[in-house]
Amino acid sequence: MKVCVLTLFPELFEPFWAHGIIRRAIQADKLAARTINIRDHAAGRHRVTDDRPYGGGCGMVMKPEPLTAALAVAKSGLTSATTLLLSPQGRCFDQAAAQALAASEALILVCGRYEGVDERFIDTHVDAEISIGDFVLTGGELGAMVVIDAVTRLIPGVLGNADSAGSDTFSDGLVEYAHYTRPATFNGQTVPAVLQSGNHAAIDQWRQETALMRTVLKRPDLLTKREFSAAERAILMKWRQDLDRLLG
């Protein structure tokens, strides 16, 4: 996958490209990543990229000319790219969106700043607006990194274990099952015996039940529209019977 980020602060991305899964993906030629400095495409001696909003109001608005010029450079090598604007008004980014974007050949992420971006640029050039949550940041750079990280780990061959992404939290609409590692006992707390049994069928059953239980306790909102599988219905019926016995 090819990724290009349009930003006023390209230096923020240098350490991002240089560590962890992103670095490994770049080294393995699974990800080609670059930044374009929007300011380099602004006119005049002072390279101004923002101006006062028409109609008055606080703050400044990013000008359409430098954004359009920077995007043209990005698209010159990425003709099939999807252009995304990081924006509080965008669709809330989630695992389903990450999975959809992971199928793209190329992505261009535009990082807004100040009070926002001139609407004419959005109307003409942006395919979709994306938000990483219902809060406001000083710019889109952190959001762009979140999107790139989530999408990159879904690219085939990026993760060491091919099953890792498929078992992630939210990949199947549930939070992930509980994890344990050595030592077997820590501060008086012991790893569940089933995980030490070597019985893979029992382990899978335990993980499925644990994931469902953790979702009920931590993110019940994920279950409101869920179509439960036969196995999940069996687990829920067992809980119901256990509760009925307790309630007498």
Tell me the catalytic residues: 88, 115, 153, 168
Annotate 135-201 with DSSP letters as a single string.
S--SBSHHHHHHHHHHHHTTSTTSSSSTTTGGGSTTTTSSPPPP---S-SEETTEE--GGGGS--HH
Q: How far apart are CA 88 and CA 130, in angstroms?
A: 7
b/e 58-78 (16+ beta carbons within 10 angstroms → b):
eebbbbbebbeebbeebbeeb
